[in-house]
Amino acid sequence: MANRQKKKRRQRAPATPSPRQPSRSEQKNEEARAALMPLTPGERPAAVTVAAIVAALLGLSNLSLYIARVDIRGEDPNAGALLFGGLMLAAAWGMWKVRYWAVLGMQALLSLIILAFSLFAVTAASVWALLLALAVVGAAGTLFWFLIKAMARIQMPRRDQ
């Protein structure tokens, strides 16, 4: 008798799938996307402006130290300093022109800075070194956070198209 019930269960038609209800997180994501407004022509988010200024200052200071032959390690500066300075100036130009690739590159750099200074904080030899590391991680993390929404607005298609 148990075998008959098992056979009857197997022969039943599969239930019709019900329409899937979106989860609360998916609903919140949709609401956030709907609230985003694309950039107007010539508009630059404040976070992108700050990031462009930071990149320009890093690039100019690095290039000026290279030209002056100054290195904090006590050695002659190498081509890496020149390359980093040029890269930062290119990123600053790209962010000033509100280019997605530049903001994405800056975020990649910020994530590496956060990682490096977090490791530096773990191995800090003094309170001042720890405070410096925490200040850099806090500033880079804050800028990274604000660039996320700016990136969403930069890549967002125009609604009138």
SS (H, E, C) 99-154: CHHHHHHHHHHHHHHHHHHHHHHHCCCCHHHHHHHHHHHHHHHHHHHHHHHHHHHH
- Domain for residue 142, yes or no? yes
- How confident is the prediction along the chain (161 residues), in pLDDT tens digits per residue? 556 665 555 666 555 656 778 788 888 877 777 777 777 777 888 999 999 999 999 999 988 888 887 766 666 667 778 888 899 999 999 999 989 899 999 999 999 999 999 999 999 999 999 999 999 999 999 999 999 988 888 876 555 54
- Domain for residue 4, yes or no? no
- Domain for residue 54, yes or no? yes
- Domain for residue 107, yes or no? yes
Q: Please tell me the total count of domains within the chain.
A: 1
Domain that holds residue 100: 44-155
- Domain for residue 120, yes or no? yes
Whole-prediction pTM: 0.70
